[in-house]
């Protein structure tokens, strides 16, 4: 299934590093100088899971460098902030990045910020090297997130000692390119690291995602049926691959 490029986000010339994109794997440039990703994770940093109305975030304590991402395409140490998912109204779509024109049922984003160069997440988000996001296409049915008490917008519950490794494939080869946030304010501050290996998601888990409500307990229930942005133009960017 092809993916349409949304023109409205590309009218002005300055927005030439927008995300997500369609990654044409044969056009990706193998870069032998790209290092393996170094993911250091401390389960005691996971704090809570929150329904934000357009998606839900699992948030981490990012007051110190306890869970960090380094090496890979990065020149600094990046601190874990949150992870969230994107999904579609059916199992036929839902991912934000598209691989050789193929859309996947969902995508996980693990958001880190450059704590080596910047004092805060908010400050880092104003700079091209401010954030790094790991994208994982499809997902494992190992993910069984209990979302029952998260049903309505604004709800949150504690989410401690979570094992992030359950969300990642064993093979961490990746494509990388410079892009943006895929939600407002679309800042072009993200080093995207899209894993090449992915794992299938269970349809039951996708149904649970679509069961979350973007309304409060006092409003008519409206489910979060989908929350993925259309692919954007590549412009002058090159996608690099960590694997030949
Ligand atoms: C200071 C403004 C930064 C706003 C972005 N915040 S974020 O955590 O990086 C983020 C990234 C993304 S994405 N899809 O990784 O670009 C989606 C949502 C959010 C969020 O705000 O929940
Ligand atoms: Zn995202």
Query: Count of residues for the chain?
Result: 244
Mean of pLDDT values over 81-110 = 93
For the Cβ of 181 lying below 6 angstroms from any atom of ligand 1, the answer is yes
For the Cβ of 111 lying below 6 angstroms from any atom of ligand 1, the answer is yes
Instruction: List, as ranges, residues with CB under 5 A of the ion ligand 2.
Output: 109
Extract long-range pairs of 218-223: CB within 8 Å, 24+ residues apart.
Answer: 221/152
Mean pLDDT across the chain: 89
- For a substitution probing ligand 1, which of 69, 83, 84, 193 has the most ligand atoms within 8 Å of its CB? 84
d(CA 117, CA 236): 26
- What is the pTM (predicted TM-score) of this model? 0.90
Residue nearest atom 12 of ligand 1, based on CA coordinates: 181
Q: How far is the CA of 188 from the centre of ligand 2 (A)?
A: 14
Mean of pLDDT values over 74-89 = 96
Span 197-230, pLDDT tens digits: 987 778 888 888 888 878 888 888 888 778 899 9
For the Cβ of 125 lying below 6 angstroms from any atom of ligand 1, the answer is yes
Residue the block writes with tokens 């990045």: 97
Contact 214, 54 (CB under 8 A): yes
Q: Positive or negative, the Cα torsion across 89, 91, 92, 95?
A: positive
pLDDT in the model for residue 7: 46
């Amino acid at each position: 299934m092809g993916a349409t490029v949304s023109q409205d986000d590309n009218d002005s010339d300055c927005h030439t590093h927008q995300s997500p994109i369609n990654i044409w794997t044969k056009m990706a440039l193998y870069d032998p100088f790209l290092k393996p990703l170094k993911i250091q994770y401390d389960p005691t940093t996971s704090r809570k899971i929150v329904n934000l109305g357009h998606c839900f975030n699992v948030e981490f304590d990012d007051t110190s460098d306890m869970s960090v991402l380094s090496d890979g395409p990065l020149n600094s140490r990046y601190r874990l902030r949150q992870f969230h998912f994107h999904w579609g109204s059916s199992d036929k779509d839902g991912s934000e990045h598209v691989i050789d024109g193929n859309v996947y049922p969902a995508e996980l984003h693990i958001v880190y910020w450059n704590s080596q160069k910047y004092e805060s997440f908010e400050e880092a988000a104003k700079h091209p090297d401010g954030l790094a996001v790991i994208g994982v296409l499809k997902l494992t049915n190992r993910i069984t997130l209990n979302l029952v008490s998260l049903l309505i917008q604004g709800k949150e519950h504690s989410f401690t000692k979570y094992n992030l490794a359950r969300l990642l494939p064993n093979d961490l080869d990746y494509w990388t390119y410079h892009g943006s946030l895929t939600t407002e304010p679309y800042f072009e501050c993200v080093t995207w690291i899209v894993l090449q290996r992915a794992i299938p998601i269970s349809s039951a888990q996708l149904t649970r995602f679509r069961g979350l409500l973007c309304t409060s307990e006092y409003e008519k229930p409206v489910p979060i049926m989908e929350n993925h942005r259309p692919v954007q133009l590549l412009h002058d960017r090159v996608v690099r691959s960590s694997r030949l």
